[in-house]
A = this chain, B = another copy of it.
């Protein structure tokens, strides 16, 4: 559902994003990935990104929600930053860097030096522009909600025109994009293999608890089935 291409974002022909100077890492190049399948899968598994922009010459990094529709990321702009909201309103838009990271495991080596994490991350460079059209804004808001809980936008009251007008969303094309992936066990030096320290990986993943109904939830409204899919 999230992979549906919209008229504004036709599905591209190339299977991979073109690497650029700033998407080729200077270290751990073997961990870099540019194929859309890997990038989309990493993005689709999350809903919180870290949005970076420049304010008065200095970097700012704020967490915010995102949703993906085809080759477009929609970012919730109510991050508490006036410059972000203002700058995205007019051309030429706001240069941003958006990063999404999942931690999959703690990698414990025999040596302190070789400790590491298993992780998957995506970094997107580009220009954010505020979404102003009501139709695109509505689709974007649905994408933001469904990114957190797939299926939820259809099971809630749609935004009113007034609410849409109060919703700050910026769009960012997926064009200059890279992923980094580390998997597997520790890479201990051969001479350390006999040391008496435990070595291996502790898996990590987000876990969802039992849904807690709102205090004012009317009797008889059960938790929806799609929450069990999380």
Q: Interface residues, chain A, CB within 8 Å of chain B?
A: 22, 25-28, 48, 50-55, 57-63, 65, 78-82, 95-99, 101, 103, 106, 108-113, 115, 117, 119, 121, 123, 125, 141-142, 144-145, 148-149, 152-153, 155-160, 163, 166-167, 180, 185-186, 188, 192-218, 221-224, 227, 230
Contacts and interface: CB of A to CB of B under 8 A. Distances in A.
A188 B200 contact: no
Given A115-B152, A198-B222, A199-B217, 4 more contacts: A54-B57, A185-B215, A194-B218, A198-B217
A198 B180 contact: no
A221 B210 CA distance: 36
Q: Which of A62, A188, A206 has the most CB of B within 10 A?
A: A62
Chain A's interface: helix, strand, loop or mixed, by majority?
Answer: mixed
Nearest to A121: B63
Q: Which of A119, A155, A156 has the most CB of B within 10 A?
A: A156
Given A52-B61, A60-B52, A156 B117 contact: no
Nearest to A206: B204
Given A153-B112, A202-B209, A185 B159 contact: no
A22 B65 CA distance: 21
